[in-house]
Amino acid sequence: MPFGSTEFQNFCRSWNIKSITSSPFYPPANGLVDVSKRIMNKAIESNTDVEILLLEYRSTTVPSIEVSPAKAVMNRLLRTRIPIKDENLKPKIQTNLQNTLRKQ
């Protein structure tokens, strides 16, 4: 079923999903989608709990921006199943994050 079809649009509306498409010939976006699909497929194959998988994914540092998605959005680390000191969970001010994101 194509993403532009009426059936897909109705499905998204009924589940309150915001569908955002990217250019088919834009390699950076396609690469991110492929990585995300691979991660989800591995989780499905191994019967991993999707909520835990997403928590770990959002907590993992992205090398190109040197922070995790959660830290980039909320300016703090998320509590995961991996042991961490409580002091590391406190927010720290990010000064160069916007500049780093703009450079990409």
pLDDT at 14: 92
Residue 15 in domain? no
pTM above 0.75, yes or no: no
Does 96 reside within a domain? no
Q: How many structural domains does the chain have?
A: 1
Name the token pair of 11.
């499905």
Q: Per the domain annotation, does 11 fall within a domain?
A: no
pLDDT at 3 over 80: no
Confirm whether 99 is domain-assigned.
Answer: no
Residues spanned by the domain of 75: 22-91
Q: pLDDT tens-digit profile of 40-81?
A: 788 778 877 778 777 887 888 877 778 888 888 888 777 777
Judge whether 36 lies within some domain.
yes
Checking if the pLDDT of 101 tops 80, the result is no
Q: What is the largest CA-CA distance in the chain?
A: 50
In a domain, residue 17? The reply is no
> So what's the pLDDT on residue 84?
66
- Is 101 among the domain residues? no
Q: Cα separation of 80 and 56, whole Å?
A: 7
